[in-house]
Amino acid sequence: MAVTVTDPLKLLLAIFLPPVGVFMEVGIGGQFWLNILLTLLGYVPGIIHAVYIILTR
């Protein structure tokens, strides 16, 4: 798990706009749509999922 220069930007976006942070990490795919669903159901689950995706990839 290498830390890149864009990780702080992705994490900042993950806090304010979780789907955008996930999109920057994985593109449009299953994780992106899951994050949109989690964000719509509750903002905090979307943030947690986005941070998890960014830190584990």
Residue 16: what pLDDT?
95
Residue 1: what pLDDT?
62
b (16+ CB within 10 A) / e for 8-33: eebeebbeeebbbbbbbbeeeeebbe
3-state secondary structure of 5: coil
Sequential pLDDT tens for the chain (57 residues): 666 777 888 899 899 999 999 999 999 999 999 999 999 999 999 999 999 998 888
Residue 6: what pLDDT?
79
